[in-house]
Amino acid sequence: MKKILLASLCAMNCALSFGQIGAPFIHDPSTVMECEGKYYTFGTGGGGLISDDGWSWHSGAERPGGGAAPDAIKIGDRYLIIYGATGGGLGGGHAGKIYTMWNKTLDPKSPDFKFSEPIEVTGSEVDEDCDAIDPGVLLAPDGRMWLSYGTYFGFIRIVELDPKTGARVAGNVAKDIAIDCEATDLIYHNGWYYLLGTHGTCCDGVNSTYNIVVGRSRNVTGPYLDNMGRDMIKGGGKMLVGAWGRRTGAGHFGRMVLEEGVEKFSCHYEADYDQGGRSVLAVQPLMWKNDWPVAGENLKNGTYAIISERRGYSLEMSVDFVRQQAGGGMMGMFGRNNAEPAKPLDFQNLDEVKSTWPEGKTRVRIGDYMFRPHQKWAIVGVPEKGGTLDNPYFKIVIEGTDRALTANSECEVETAAYTGADEQLWRIDQLTDGTYRIMPKAVPGTDKKLALISAGDSTPTLGKFDFSSDNSKWNLKLVNDGSKN
């Protein structure tokens, strides 16, 4: 009985916490890597986490060398792991060394799992204004590879590595590019290089003010300026993410580009209030606005209008539009006494109309949003059904009913009684422009990866996702109508 109660509480907690589930406990996670269908990240102190789906995590990843805040990158068919062998100032001194090592796989159970001999690529001496830990690596579009590293103690520096060997490029001289941050990372987007650093107080649990800031440059070696034109070497930085929801202390950024328009970032939060204040892995949507990265949030349970980016109409169950009798508007002008106080009207509620709805499966269409019950979708995470990198799978039902959005064998969409089948579970990704992609976990009769798309202004269907088309995009607007439902 206790087990059942605990399981129930866990399920409730997981549904409400909107964070990775299982045991996602880590500090300074490296950029999440996919390897043979599983996901891996390594943290400070050695070891790391594994996930089968990106949503539920457990310990088990293996990384030798210890030290602080590693990073990882896949180059060709190999993985390069970069790590600082010391603990920086926390270890009592600022002399440090950064190493790289290769592996064909990240799966410790694979016969191919074997790290190459570590190669020292840079370091810091005890009397330098630098602390050579916390590496972050970028393979630039021109094929050159760059490494940033450092902490609050002095400068963040950048050096060039050889992407074929993982060694330092001969003759390369380190350059100072920032101060006042640590756990940096470099990324590239649309002609800009970005330096992301972690600012604020580390390692103080719920009191940690850790936050991730960003500056950008047209050159990988800087200068990196924030949105105010302030150089990060003078402490500049535009905040990407800090404390929010029930988690504090965002740090150690890592970027994942899943496909065009679908990006995520990983980080840790110093403390998750729903996890006893432990440091946890987080994966959230990454958006872009005016060529600045913007942090999206894990989708929260709620009642939403699902609005097409194509026309702006709302996904709705195909039922008769039932007129409200309240009237008003221009038609009420005649004979109305405007001296009388205006009384607020109630929205139409489910009980007023559900008897007019057909039983059983009902097709879905897109129409003018009018706050009507057949247009209000309760989107609820179903963590026990698994998930993807930044969200659990969701069921999407007409609020107050079990009429669930369902993919059918004709690759069309309808509502049907919720059973928990894969065709009623939906993956929801916030895209880089802030809109959403909505995909069924499975479509009966096909292995194709399909998404909810607009076939026309008023007609949804399932089709191939295309980020360049507004047909593939949806907006989710929380319904907060103050009705008495």
Partner 1 sequence: MKKALFSVALAFCLSAMNLNAQPPLENYFSPATKEAATPDNEGFIRRWTLLEPITKPNRSNTVFTDSYLREAFSQEYFKNQFTMVPKDGQKVKAKCQVEVRQPMPAAPAPGAGGPNRPARPAGAPGAGPGAGGPGAGAPMMMGFRGMGPAQVKDTIETLVWHKYDSKLYNNKLFRLASGLKKTVYGVMFWAVTTIECDEDIENVRMAVGSNSGSMWWLNGEEAVLLSGDRRMVADDVISDRLTLKKGKNIVRGVVINGPGMSDFCLRFLDEDGKPVKGIRIL
Q: What angle do CA 381, 294, 230 make, to 5 degrees?
A: 155
Minimum distance from CB of 63 to partner 1 (Å)?
45
Stretch that binds partner 1, among 5-13, 252-260, 315-323, 443-451 (CB under 8 A): 315-323
Strands (E), 93-144: 96-103, 119-124, 136-139
Q: Please tell me the chain's helix, strand, coil percentages from 3-state DSSP, rounded to the nearest 5.
A: 10, 45, 45
Min CB(435)–partner 1 separation in Å: 18
Given the complex with partner 1, which of 239 and 322 has the nearer CB atom? 322
- Picking from 380, 420, 417, the residue whose alpha carbon sits closest to that of residue 402 is 417
Tell me the site size for partner 1, rule CB under 8 A. 27
Q: Measured from the CB of residue 333, what is the shortest distance to partner 1 in angstroms?
A: 8
Question: What letter does residue 324 receive in the DSSP assignment?
Answer: P
For partner 1, the closer of residues 112 and 447 by Cβ is 447
Phi, psi dihedrals of residue 94, rounded to the nearest 5°: -115, 15
Instruction: Kindly tell me which of 131 and 309 has the beta carbon lying closer to partner 1.
Output: 309
Residue whose C-alpha is closest to residue 377's, from 334, 419, 324, 438: 438
**441-460 footprint of partner 1 as x/- string (CB under 8 A):** --------------xxxxx-
Of 119, 177, 124, 128, nearest to 148 by C-alpha is: 177
Beta-strand relationship, 238-241 and 247-259:
unpaired
With a CB cutoff of 8 Å and minimum separation 6, the contacts of 411 are 443, 446, 448, 450, 461, 462, 463
Residue 67 vs 367, nearer CB to partner 1: 367
Q: Judged by CB under 8 A, which stretch of 81-89, 157-165, 316-324, 387-395 contacts partner 1? A: 316-324
Q: At closest approach, how far in Å is the CB of 334 from partner 1? A: 3
DSSP 360: S
Q: What span, in angstroms and rounded, lies between the C-alpha atoms of 429 and 244?
A: 19
CB atoms within 10 A of CB 342: 8
Rg (CA), the chain: 25
| 167 to 206: interface string for partner 1, x by CB under 8 A | ----------------------------------------
**360: contact with partner 1 by CB under 8 A:** no
Distance of CA 119 to the CA centre of its chain: 32
Among 202, 281, 319, 407, binds partner 1 (CB under 8 A): 319
CB of 436 to partner 1, least distance (A): 20
For partner 1, the closer CB: 109 or 323: 323
Closest distance to partner 1 from the beta carbon of 368 (Å): 8
Q: Give the side-chain half-sphere CA count within 13 A for 444.
A: 10
Within residues 329-358, the interface with partner 1 by CB under 8 A covers: 331, 333-335, 356
Nearest to 80, CA basis, from 61, 98, 101: 101
Q: From CA 408, how far away is CA 394, in angstroms rounded? A: 17
Mask for 391-430, x = binds partner 1 (CB under 8 A): -------------------xxx------------------
Least CB distance from residue 441 to partner 1, whole Å?
22
As a residue count, the chain comes to 485
Q: Using CA atoms, how far apart are residues 32 and 137, in angstroms rounded to an integer?
A: 13
In the complex, what is the shortest distance from the CB of residue 358 to partner 1, in angstroms, rounded to a whole number?
A: 10
Q: How far is residue 354's CA from residue 317's CA, in Å, rounded to a whole number?
A: 12
Among 201, 321, 360, 448, binds partner 1 (CB under 8 A): 321
H or E element at residue 5: helix 2-17
CB distance 350 to 401 below 8 Å: yes
52 vs 368 by CB, closer to partner 1: 368
Instruction: Identify which range of 22-30, 44-52, 156-164, 323-331 contacts partner 1 by CB under 8 A.
Output: 323-331
Over the window 266 to 305, marking each residue x when it contacts partner 1 by CB under 8 A and - when it does not, the resulting string is ----------------------------------------
Distance of closest approach, residue 422 Cβ to partner 1, in angstroms = 22
Judged by beta carbon, residue 179 or residue 413, the one nearer partner 1 is 413
**Residue 485 found at the interface with partner 1 (CB under 8 A):** no
Give me the residues that bind partner 1 (CB under 8 A), please. Answer: 318-325, 327, 331, 333-335, 356, 365, 367, 410-412, 455-459, 461, 463, 471
